[in-house]
Structure formats: structure tokens, C-alpha cells
């Protein structure tokens, strides 16, 4: 691994930290010394209780606490070094036909972009910027100055302090200097549903059908934010606006497919329980752009000359805050296996102190990106709405190493469910306005390893900023680890504290050192519904110098690198996936159903195709089996212990929820419109903690309704809404002689008002992209759902039941009263040849929730109607709540 290189680091002696009420602070532990309440001393040899010398992935202590395997972070999961890029033979942007000006006198944007485009068209290449200054500006109508949208392109300078990229635009609201990617993970029609809940970290996914998937495929794993999911976190009120949303959680690549046993093995373990009740879906995507590199240059922006840098000035037109709102230096979107290295910001001549306008590097929906030896400093605007963040994780298993952040609002921050498995390693933060933090929603299982704070700290606490149901903060992380944190100086808001942690479930602070090394884990959350017990684990506070290993990331990576050739891709018991399979997990305990008399059968597959495998079957139901995997003379032994359950599994409870896998229910809250039908589904929780689907288990669930005036139950589990009001539905089932019952209240609302006139029947709606707000939402007649896609040219395609003459479309725009949207309307009879009939039409900002109608120049026969969006006046988002097509009146 790389050696440590941090600005401002000092060699320090461990000193006594300030002890507050609740926080933990202590001197280095010595034999026989008393230990302060709430902290755990390191064990013999400086080992953590959770990381003994014989640690393996999945190792747990007696309380079920464990450390995730974070070794997968970074470029190609760390299994390949960053490429050694040679600019020889690349495209020199200063030479013909590009002839970019390297003096900074004239704009070089077009010339550099042409060179990038040429490299892209050639299938990849190095775009080289020799020593000099290159003046950049986003072209009119474009949200970035330079864009890389194809794989295998490297933008390389002559070195930090030699090649300068200077963005000369003061108005950069929602714009980037460099943008990699720009769309989203492009889904295909190949999908599978999780067939069984997986509550432990695993690489082996049981699915309903593995057909259509192949080794090497990229997949997106999503979940629905059900009422039960929100309630588990105590976020049923704070995140009410997210109810029913489809959220991306894991970006993965398939390494093995077992069509016979319906399993998919992915390249990186899951990091949060996946429950079938949340409609877990695995979707094959097109391969994301990859092998993109940015390296060896300095980057900056002219500062905005206007006044107004207050907290909420991003809302006030004419202020610097408004014009720099969410301006980004480098924005990486939906990319994988790429890197950013040897880059720094700088202060251009004429700037007071500022280097950039707002944000530094954003890793958005990314997978396995490495940021190496990068320094981001001094953003101008550090107000609300996400400004002044120098590094932000919104993706999976990315690595920021040997990098620095100075003068930020937040130096480093994590946001959204998809921010998991990320690692910060050997990073340094200095004098941030607010602390490095976990910012919104549940960013699970991330590692901060050997961070040095100098006027900063790490915050992972439940946060409540008001009573709004759309509050995005709340419970912000779970199972995240802060390993060997060095405190040179605490954040100005904290007295002697460098880490505060109040995670959902378990969180871990292991090892601190430096002049300031206090920890606070004894925190009572600001949201009463959010149960964050137990207090997070604090171990080795003030003992970082003797912590072994000094770096968790480096040690986990070394273990995996040395043993991966003898890893397991699959482990089956009686043809079913074992729980918690990881490539190098060497000890499993399998509990068999009560009354099992038959000896179980083990099956397994090695991860490496050229490895040999030998299986020792157990001799009895309560026996032990073994698996031995050998490659190149190295053998790894796996032990599987079987136990027959002492008692039969009994139902503990049953849940009722809307089945949103089909149309019917409104997407937010337990509501349905008059005249609509919505299926109900139930899940049973057993007394052993397992959750089962009664349909898959062959159990019958009876649904009853308390008031038939408002609705009725059809086909056993379908609720039909008749009249506005509230109804209570009960569900009951029996299993092994025990019966469970539960109730849930649903609301029947007035149906959405349709536009006047005769409407054409719509067969289906598709789109060029979506952000989880699906195109089908535009035909569900639900005012709470929408289709959204970011970017100019994204389209919504409406297919009618049959070709017919039409003369008008009606559209309900999301937030249409606050901003106008620009779009084209194209029509086609065959779905191949389209005619544009409305060109750059603008919506009208009507009253809230008002539908707008757009007459066509003349009636036209069509079966396909394409809405092509160009964003709205505030940003690039295209968002439509409902879409109607009118039959021609004549």
C-alpha cells in the first residue's frame, strides 16, 4: 500500500484528552490501569476484539458485532494497480488540428473537447495537456466545460503546478468544470427478484430466475422503501416522502451463475439485510463507462465577484451563492473502475483566497473509483443545499487515499443508501466549517481508516432539522468503522472530541491518538422514534499507537489478495444457498429445521475456475462438513457445522402492505384512489427471526375488511377502492398450529381529475433513463409519483393501444408551478420513423398541481408519442407526473 503523505501531519505523542459528560477520553492504556466507563481497551498485542489475528470475513463476537470486509474498495477492487499512463503517442491538445492555447489567453474548451471526442471515437486514448494554463468555460446550454462520456479516455497533464485548468466562468450554478459520465446506469429488461431474504453479508444471492444473466454482467440491486423498512429505522415520519420509492443500493458485477439452483454470485458482498418484503430486484445493466483517468494537473475557478455568500443565498438570484450553487470541480456519474490522481486545486491570480466555487470531487452512482494523492482546498460558497463539500460519496466501494481537504463546509461526506463500502484511507482534513459527516438517509458500512483531523472531526449521529416529512437526514449510517483516527485539533464546535457516533444498530470507533483523541458514543438521538441502541462500540480510545494492525484496509486487502485464489463462489445445503456466504469466510453454522432426520448434503463451487475442490459430507444432521479448495499448492479449509433446531419454527407476527410491484396503490402513504385496485401482500416473521413469504411457503392468508362501503376484497388479496374514506384490513394465517393476525389502515382518496375530452388508451410507457422514478408512473394517475431523468435529450415514450388520430397532449409537470420545462413532441406510427410536431415547447408555470394541455398544429395519426426533454429553467431534470394523449375531436 502507499506510504502516508498528508499535509500538516506531525509526529505526536499520545496525551490526555478532555473528558466531558458522556464522551470518552483516556490516556494510552497500560497494564493495571483503570478503564473509563463506556470504553474498551485494546487486547493483547493491540488487537481489537473484533479483529483477532485469525480474523476472517463474517467473524462475529458473542454479541453479533462484526467488521465488514472493506478490501474491495477502489479501482478493480484493488485486484489491479492503477495504470501507468504514458502520454507518448497520445493526443497533444496544443498541436494541430486542436491547437489549444496553453497561455491562458484564449478559451481552450472547444479544442480540448475535440481531442477528448477524438480519443473517444478511437475507442480510447490519452489526451495530453502539456505544461501551461488552459482557459475553460461551459459552452452555452451545457452544464459542464469538459465532458468524458466514453470508456478508456485519460485526461493527463504534465503535473501538479505545471498544467493548470482554469475555469473562467463566474456563473456555474449546477455546472461542472469536468464531468465524467452524466447519465445513469442503463437498465436492461433482464431482471430477477430475490427469492429469499438474506440478512447476513453475502455474495450469493438466491433469485427467482437466473436466466439471462452471465459472468461479467453488471447489475443494479434495488429495494423499495416500504413502510416496514422505514419503521425499522424509526424513519416512518421523517422519510415519509420516500415511501414506495425504488432506491439503488448495490452496484455489482456477476462472477458466477447457477441456473439450476437459481443463484447469482456477485463480486462484492452485500452490506445490509435484503428482505423480500422490500421487493429486492436485481437488474442487468449495460456496462458503465470505465477505465477513465484524470491525472497530473491543477484545477481552479475564477471566484464569483458578487456579494451574498450566506447560508440560504443559493435561493437568491443575483448573489454569489445563487450563481455558484452546486458548482463542481469534478463530477463523476455512473462510472466504474476509473481513477483521479495527482490533482490539486490552486488559487488563480486575482482570487482572494478561493480555489473553487463550491464542490470538489463528487462520486455519484459510481463503483470502484480510486482518488489518489488529491488535494481540494478553499471553496468560495459554503452555504446550505450541499455547497462547499470537497469530497462526496454517493456510490459503492470507492477509495479516497492519501488525499487532503482544506477549508471546506464538509471536507468529506456520505449521502444516500447507495453510499456503502467506501473507504477513506490516510486522508487529512483541516479547518472545515462543519464536520466530516454521514449526511442523509442510511449510508451503510463505510470505513474511515487513518484519518487525521486538524480543526475537524467525524460525525455519524442521528440528525433532525425540523418536523418536515421530507427531512433527508435522520438515521445516517450503520456498521461504519472509524479506525485509528488522529486528532491534531478538534473541530471548533467540539471540546476534545474527534469522533461522535450514533449509528443504527452497531457502529465502531477503534483506536484514536494524537493530542486530541476523545470519542462520544453515549448519545441519545434527537429523533425519539429512531432506536439507535446499543451505544456504538468505542475501543482503544487514546491507544492508536499500539493498535494492530495500524490500517484495517491494508490488512484486509493483504489477506484477500493472498487467499482469493482459493475462495468459494457458492455454498449450498440441500440445494439451497447457505446464509452469509463470502469468498473467504471459513466457518459456517447452518441450523436445520426442527425434526430433521436426513443428513444434509453439501455442494460448493470454487471462485477460480482452475482451483480443485474436495467436499467432506457431514455424517449426521448434527454433524460437521468440510470443503477444501486448492490452487497452486495453496489450500483453504472451510468448516460447516450443522445444528438441528431444538423447537419448531412458529409464526411470531404477520405484516400487511400494499404490493406495489403492480399498478394500483399510490406510491406514497397507504393510499389508493377511488376506482383503483391494489394487491395486498404479507410477510411472516418466525420466532427464530427468519422472515418468510407465505405464498412461497404454501400458507394461506385470509384478508378481511372492516367497512365494505369504502372497498372490498377480490381474488383473495386484491383491494378495490369504492368511496373516499379509511378502511382497516386484517390478515391472518396459521402455521404449525399457531395463528397470527394483524391489521393495517388504508386511505381511499378521490381519483385524479382527468383532462377534458376523449383520451387515447395507453398500452405502455418507456423512457431513455430514469432515476428510480419510473416511466410507468406517468400513466398510473397518481399525483404522488413521477418519471424523472437528468439531462438534455432524455425522452419519455408513450405507446398507445392502437394507431389513431390525435390532436393534443396533456401533461402534469412535477413542480410545474415553480419552473418551466422545455421539450419536443415527436410522433410515429411504426415506432421507427418519427416526426417532430412541437419544437422546444415551453410549459407555462400554472397553479400548483394543474395539468397543462398542448394542442398539436393539426391532427396526426400516431401510435407512439415521444416527449424529448431539455430540462427546466433551474436544472437539467425532466420530471413528469402524468401524461395524457387526446383523440382527435374530428
Q: Across the strands, what pairs with 179? A: 147, 331
Cβ atoms 774, 796 nearer than 8 A: no
pLDDT digits (tens, 9 = 90+) for 744-763: 999 999 998 899 999 999 99
Residue 4: pLDDT band with limits 50, 70, 90: very low
Cβ atoms 449, 423 nearer than 8 A: yes
pLDDT digits (tens, 9 = 90+) for 601-651: 999 999 999 999 999 999 999 999 999 999 999 999 999 999 999 989 899
- Rounded to an integer, the average pLDDT of 549-572 is 96
Cα 508 from Cα 502, distance rounded (Å) = 10
Asked if residue 21 has pLDDT above 70, the reply is no
Q: What is the pLDDT of residue 465?
A: 63
**Which of the two residues, 699 and 470, has the higher pLDDT score?**
699
Cα 16 from Cα 34, distance rounded (Å) = 14
Q: What is the pLDDT of residue 512?
A: 97
Domains plus CATH for the chain?
1-72+446-545 (no CATH), 74-185+288-396 (2.160.20.10), 187-287 (2.40.30), 558-644 (3.30.460), 651-749 (2.60.40.1080), 762-887 (2.60.120.260)
Asked if residue 28 has pLDDT above 80, the reply is no
Asked if residue 531 has pLDDT above 90, the reply is no
Q: What is the pLDDT of residue 5?
A: 32
**Which of the two residues, 545 and 189, has the higher pLDDT score?**
545
In which residue are the cell numbers 410536431 written?
837
Asked if residue 470 has pLDDT above 60, the reply is no
Task: Tell which residue, 715, 733, 607, 75, has the closest CA to residue 339.
Answer: 75
Cα 156 from Cα 297, distance rounded (Å) = 7
DSSP for residue 726: E
Q: What is the pLDDT of residue 469?
A: 44
Asked if residue 363 has pLDDT above 80, the reply is yes
Q: What is the pLDDT of residue 231?
A: 87
Asked if residue 232 has pLDDT above 60, the reply is yes
In which residue are the cell numbers 445445503 written?
573
**Which of the two residues, 842 and 780, has the higher pLDDT score?**
842
Peptide bond into 582 cis (omega under 30): no
- Rounded to an integer, the average pLDDT of 83-110 is 97
- Rounded to an integer, the average pLDDT of 141-154 is 95
**Conformation bin of residue 439: beta by default, left when phi > 0, alpha when psi is -120 to 50:** alpha
pLDDT digits (tens, 9 = 90+) for 304-328: 999 999 999 999 999 999 999 999 9
Task: Tell which residue, 443, 446, 454, 360, has the closest CA to residue 399.
Answer: 446
Q: What is the pLDDT of residue 659?
A: 86
Q: What is the pLDDT of residue 400?
A: 98
DSSP for residue 418: T
Q: What is the pLDDT of residue 3?
A: 32
C-alpha triplet 756, 757, 761: angle, nearest 5° = 110
pLDDT digits (tens, 9 = 90+) for 160-193: 999 999 999 999 999 999 999 987 888 898 999 9
Q: Across the strands, what pairs with 414? A: 393, 438
Task: Tell which residue, 269, 219, 583, 536, has the closest CA to residue 421.
Answer: 269
Residue 466: pLDDT band with limits 50, 70, 90: low
Q: Across the strands, what pairs with 788? A: 879
- Rounded to an integer, the average pLDDT of 820-830 is 96
Q: What is the pLDDT of residue 574?
A: 96
Residue 16: pLDDT band with limits 50, 70, 90: very low
Q: Which residues contact 2 (CB under 8 A, 6 or more apart)?
A: 372, 373, 401, 402, 426
Task: Tell which residue, 659, 704, 707, 647, has the closest CA to residue 683.
Answer: 659
Q: How many CA atoms lie within 13 A of 427 on its CB side?
A: 31
Minimum mean pLDDT among 20-34, 484-498, 662-676, 833-847: which range?
20-34
Q: How many CA atoms lie within 13 A of 283 on its CB side?
A: 20
CB atoms under 10 Å from CB of 633, counted, come to 5
> Residue 788: enclosing H or E segment and its boundaries?
strand 787-790
Mean pLDDT of the chain: 91
Minimum mean pLDDT among 184-198, 349-363, 717-731: which range?
184-198
Cβ atoms 257, 264 nearer than 8 A: yes
Cα 463 from Cα 450, distance rounded (Å) = 25
Q: What is the pLDDT of residue 57?
A: 96
Judging by beta carbons within 10 Å of its beta carbon (0-12, 13-18, 19+), is residue 22 exposed, middle or buried? middle
Q: What is the pLDDT of residue 190?
A: 94
Copy the grid coordinates of residue 344: 490539486
Amino acid at each position: 500500500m502507499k506510504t502516508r503523505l498528508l499535509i500538516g501531519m506531525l509526529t505526536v505523542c499520545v496525551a490526555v484528552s478532555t473528558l466531558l459528560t458522556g464522551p470518552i477520553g483516556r490516556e494510552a492504556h497500560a497494564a493495571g490501569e483503570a478503564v473509563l466507563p463506556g470504553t474498551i481497551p485494546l487486547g493483547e498485542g493491540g488487537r481489537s476484539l473484533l479483529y483477532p489475528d485469525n480474523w476472517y470475513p463474517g467473524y462475529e463476537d458473542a454479541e453479533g458485532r462484526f467488521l465488514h470486509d472493506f478490501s474491495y474498495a477502489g479501482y478493480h477492487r484493488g485486484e489491479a494497480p492503477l495504470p501507468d499512463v504514458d502520454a507518448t503517442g497520445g493526443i497533444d491538445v496544443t498541436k494541430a488540428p486542436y491547437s489549444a492555447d496553453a497561455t491562458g489567453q484564449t478559451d481552450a474548451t472547444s479544442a480540448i473537447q475535440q481531442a477528448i471526442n477524438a480519443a473517444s471515437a478511437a475507442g480510447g486514448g490519452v489526451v495530453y495537456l502539456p505544461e501551461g494554463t488552459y482557459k475553460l468555460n461551459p459552452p452555452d446550454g451545457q452544464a459542464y466545460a469538459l465532458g468524458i462520456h466514453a470508456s478508456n479516455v485519460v485526461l493527463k497533464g504534465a503535473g501538479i503546478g505545471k498544467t493548470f485548468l482554469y475555469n473562467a466562468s463566474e456563473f456555474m450554478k449546477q455546472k461542472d468544470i469536468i464531468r465524467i459520465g452524466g447519465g445513469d446506469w442503463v437498465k436492461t429488461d433482464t431482471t430477477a427478484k430475490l427469492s429469499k431474504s438474506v440478512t447476513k453479508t453475502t455474495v450469493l444471492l438466491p433469485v427467482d430466475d437466473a436466466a439471462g444473466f452471465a459472468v461479467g454482467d453488471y447489475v443494479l440491486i434495488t429495494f423499495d422503501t416500504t413502510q416496514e423498512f422505514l419503521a425499522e429505522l424509526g424513519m416512518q415520519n421523517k422519510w415519509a416522502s420516500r415511501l414506495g420509492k425504488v432506491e439503488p443500493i448495490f452496484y455489482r458485477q456477476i462472477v458466477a451463475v447457477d441456473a439450476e439452483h437459481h443463484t447469482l454470485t456477485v463480486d462484492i458482498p452485500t452490506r445490509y439485510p435484503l428482505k423480500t418484503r422490500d421487493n429486492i430486484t436485481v437488474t442487468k445493466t449495460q456496462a458503465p463507462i470505465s477505465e477513465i483517468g484524470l491525472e497530473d494537473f491543477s484545477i481552479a475557478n475564477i471566484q464569483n465577484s458578487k456579494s451574498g455568500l450566506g447560508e440560504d443565498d443559493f435561493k437568491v438570484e443575483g448573489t454569489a451563492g445563487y450563481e455558484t450553487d452546486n458548482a463542481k470541480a469534478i463530477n463523476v456519474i455512473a462510472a466504474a473502475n476509473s481513477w483521479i490522481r495527482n490533482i490539486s486545486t490552486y488559487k488563480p491570480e486575482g482570487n482572494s483566497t478561493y480555489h473553487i466555487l463550491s464542490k470538489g470531487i463528487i462520486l455519484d452512482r459510481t463503483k470502484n473509483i480510486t482518488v489518489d494523492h488529491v488535494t481540494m482546498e478553499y471553496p468560495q460558497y459554503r452555504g446550505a443545499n450541499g455547497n462547499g463539500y470537497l469530497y462526496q460519496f454517493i456510490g459503492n466501494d470507492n477509495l479516497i487515499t492519501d488525499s487532503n481537504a482544506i477549508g471546506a463546509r464538509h471536507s468529506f461526506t456520505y449521502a444516500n443508501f447507495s453510499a456503502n463500502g467506501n473507504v477513506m484511507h490516510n486522508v487529512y482534513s483541516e479547518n472545515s466549517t462543519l464536520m466530516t459527516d454521514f449526511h442523509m438517509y442510511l449510508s451503510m458500512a463505510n470505513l474511515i481508516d487513518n484519518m487525521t483531523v486538524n480543526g475537524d472531526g467525524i460525525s455519524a449521529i442521528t440528525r433532525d432539522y425540523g418536523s418536515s416529512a421530507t427531512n433527508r437526514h435522520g438515521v445516517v449510517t450503520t456498521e461504519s468503522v472509524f479506525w485509528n483516527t488522529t486528532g491534531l485539533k478538534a473541530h471548533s464546535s467540539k471540546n476534545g472530541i474527534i469522533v461522535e457516533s450514533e449509528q443504527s444498530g452497531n457502529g465502531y470507533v477503534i483506536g484514536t491518538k494524537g493530542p486530541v483523541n476523545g470519542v462520544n458514543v453515549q448519545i441519545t438521538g434527537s429523533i425519539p422514534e429512531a432506536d439507535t441502541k446499543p451505544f456504538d462500540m468505542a475501543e482503544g480510545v487514546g491507544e492508536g499507537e499500539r493498535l494492530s494492525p495500524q490500517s484495517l484496509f491494508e490488512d484486509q486487502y493483504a489477506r484477500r489478495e493472498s487467499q482469493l485464489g482459493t475462495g468459494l463462489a457458492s455454498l449450498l445445503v440441500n440445494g439451497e444457498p447457505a446464509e452469509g456466504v463470502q469468498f473467504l469466510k471459513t466457518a459456517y453454522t447452518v441450523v436445520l429445521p426442527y425434526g430433521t432426520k436426513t443428513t444434509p448434503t453439501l455442494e460448493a463451487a470454487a471462485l477460480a475456475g482452475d482451483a480443485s475442490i474436495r467436499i467432506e459430507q457431514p455424517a449426521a444432521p448434527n454433524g460437521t462438513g468440510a470443503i477444501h479448495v486448492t490452487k497452486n499448492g495453496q489450500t483453504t479449509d472451510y468448516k460447516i457445522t450443522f445444528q438441528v433446531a431444538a423447537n419448531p419454527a412458529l409464526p411470531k407476527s404477520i405484516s400487511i402492505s400494499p404490493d406495489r410491484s403492480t399498478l394500483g396503490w399510490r406510491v406514497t402513504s397507504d393510499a389508493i384512489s377511488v376506482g383503483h385496485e391494489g394487491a395486498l401482500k404479507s410477510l411472516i416473521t418466525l420466532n427464530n427471526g427468519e422472515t418468510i413469504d407465505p405464498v412461497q411457503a404454501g400458507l394461506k392468508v385470509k384478508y378481511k375488511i372492516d367497512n365494505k362501503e369504502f372497498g372490498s376484497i377480490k381474488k383473495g388479496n386484491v383491494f378495490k377502492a369504492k368511496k373516499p374514506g379509511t378502511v382497516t384490513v386484517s390478515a391472518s394465517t396459521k402455521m404449525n398450529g399457531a395463528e397470527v393476525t394483524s391489521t393495517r389502515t388504508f386511505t381511499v382518496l378521490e381519483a385524479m381529475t382527468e383532462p377534458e375530452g376523449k383520451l387515447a388508451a395507453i398500452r405502455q410507457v418507456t423512457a431513455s433513463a430514469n432515476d428510480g422514478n419510473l416511466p410507468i408512473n406517468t400513466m398510473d394517475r397518481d399525483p404522488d409519483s413521477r418519471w424523472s431523468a437528468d439531462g438534455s435529450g432524455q425522452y419519455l415514450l408513450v405507446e398507445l393501444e392502437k394507431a389513431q388520430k390525435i390532436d393534443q397532449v396533456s401533461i402534469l409537470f412535477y413542480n410545474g408551478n415553480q419552473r418551466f420545462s422545455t421539450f419536443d413532441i415527436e410522433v410515429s406510427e411504426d415506432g421507427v420513423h418519427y416526426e417532430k410536431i412541437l419544437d422546444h415547447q415551453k410549459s407555462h408555470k400554472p397553479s400548483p398541481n394543474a395539468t397543462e394541455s398542448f394542442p398539436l398544429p393539426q391532427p396526426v395519426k400516431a401510435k407512439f408519442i415521444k416527449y424529448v426533454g431539455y430540462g427546466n429553467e433551474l436544472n437539467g431534470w425532466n420530471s413528469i407526473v402524468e401524461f395524457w394523449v387526446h383523440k382527435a375531436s374530428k
